[in-house]
C-alpha cells in the first residue's frame, strides 16, 4: 500500500477551499509528511491514520510560514510515545540548522510547547545529503529557485514535490520516472512571474503533451477566484495529465 493524501494544496493564505501546503504519504511501514502548512488542520479527518504509526516523519522543503505553521498543530493528534523525525535544509543554504530554525519559531515566546518536546522523542535533522532514506523510502532533494532556498523532494520513483520554485527543466529530468509530480502554479502567464514562482504557461510549454505521468498543480494562488479556476480548466482541457490539486484528494500508487 502506497498512498498520498493532499491535506493542503494552496499557497501563502488559507482559503475556504484550500489550506496551505501539506501532503501525507504513507506505506504500510512509514508515515511521511511533505511540508507542514495549515493543511495539517485537515488531520481532523484522518486522526485514525496518525494512531496507526509509531513514527511520524516530516520533510520540509523550506521554512516559510505557510509550509511550517502546522507543526504547532501536531500536538492535537500525536501520542506522547510516538517518535517524531523532522528533516529540513541547513548549512550551507541557511545560516542555521533545521533544529535551530524551528526551535526559534515553535517554542519560547511564540508557542506553548517547544518543537523538541512535542512528544517524548523528537529528532530534528538537516538533510544529510541530497540522497537519504527514511525506512524503506528513498529520498532525493534538489535545490530550486526561490526567494529563500527551497528544495524539490523525490520519493522513490513515485512522487516528485516541487513547490515554491521557478520552473526548471532540471525538475522534469529528476522526476522523469515518477508517477506523480506535484508542481506549484502561482501565476497564469510567464510575464507575471518574478523568477521566484511558476506559471501555468511555462509548465505547459516544458511538459510534453504525451508525458506519461500525472501533474497536479499545487501552491495555488489564494487570490484566484472561481472564474480564474474555470479559465485554467479550459486551458488544460486538452492536457489529460494536468489537473489542479484539491484538498482531500487521494492518489493511490500501483505496486
User: For 70-102, what is each residue's pLDDT tens digit?
Assistant: 999 999 999 999 999 999 999 999 999 999 999
Whether 19 contacts 246, CB under 8 Å: no
Q: Could you tell me the pTM of the whole model? A: 0.97
Percent of the chain with pLDDT over 70: 99
Collapsing DSSP to helix, strand or coil, 133 comes out as strand
The pLDDT of residue 149 is above 80: yes
CA 175 – CA 5 distance, rounded (Å): 19
**For residues 122-131, b (16+ Cβ closer than 10 Å) or e, as one string?**
bebebbeeee
Whether 235 contacts 228, CB under 8 Å: no
User: For 55-68, what is each residue's pLDDT tens digit?
Assistant: 999 999 999 999 99
User: For 215-225, what is each residue's pLDDT tens digit?
Assistant: 999 999 999 99
pLDDT for 255: 58
User: For 8-39, what is each residue's pLDDT tens digit?
Assistant: 999 999 999 999 999 999 999 999 999 999 99
CA 149 – CA 185 distance, rounded (Å): 18
* Average pLDDT rounded to a whole number, residues 161-170: 97
Strand-pair category, 242-244 with 214-218: parallel
Return the C-alpha cell found at 52.
496507526
The pLDDT of residue 211 is above 80: no
Put the strands of the sheet holding 31-36 in their side by side order.
121-126, 83-88, 55-59, 31-36, 22-27, 2-8, 250-252
pLDDT for 187: 96
Amino acid at each position: 500500500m502506497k498512498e498520498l493524501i493532499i491535506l493542503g494544496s494552496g499557497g501563502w493564505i488559507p482559503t475556504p477551499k484550500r489550506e496551505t501546503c501539506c501532503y501525507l504519504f504513507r506505506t504500510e511501514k512509514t508515515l511521511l509528511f511533505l511540508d507542514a502548512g495549515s493543511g495539517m488542520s485537515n488531520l481532523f479527518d484522518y486522526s485514525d491514520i496518525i494512531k496507526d504509526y509509531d513514527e511520524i516523519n516530516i520533510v520540509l522543503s523550506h521554512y516559510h510560514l505557510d509550509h511550517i505553521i502546522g507543526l504547532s498543530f501536531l500536538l492535537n493528534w500525536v501520542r506522547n510515545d510516538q517518535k517524531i523525525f523532522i528533516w529540513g535544509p541547513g548549512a550551507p543554504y541557511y545560516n542555521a540548522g533545521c533544529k535551530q530554525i524551528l526551535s526559534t519559531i515553535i517554542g519560547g515566546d511564540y508557542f506553548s510547547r517547544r518543537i523538541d518536546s512535542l512528544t517524548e522523542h523528537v529528532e530534528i535533522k538537516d538533510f544529510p545529503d541530497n540522497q537519504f532514506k527514511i525506512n524503506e523510502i528513498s529520498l532525493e532533494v534538489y535545490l530550486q529557485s526561490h526567494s529563500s532556498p527551497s528544495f524539490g523532494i523525490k520519493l522513490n520513483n513515485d512522487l516528485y514535490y516541487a513547490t515554491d520554485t521557478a520552473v526548471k527543466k532540471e525538475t522534469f529530468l529528476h522526476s522523469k520516472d515518477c508517477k506523480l509530480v506535484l508542481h506549484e502554479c502561482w501565476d497564469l502567464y510567464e510575464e507575471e512571474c518574478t523568477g521566484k514562482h511558476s506559471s501555468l504557461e511555462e509548465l505547459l510549454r516544458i511538459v510534453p503533451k504525451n508525458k506519461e505521468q500525472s501533474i497536479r498543480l499545487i501552491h495555488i494562488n489564494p487570490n484566484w477566484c472561481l472564474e480564474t479556476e474555470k479559465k485554467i480548466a479550459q486551458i488544460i482541457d486538452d492536457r489529460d495529465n494536468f489537473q489542479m490539486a484539491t484538498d482531500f484528494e487521494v492518489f493511490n500508487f500501483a505496486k
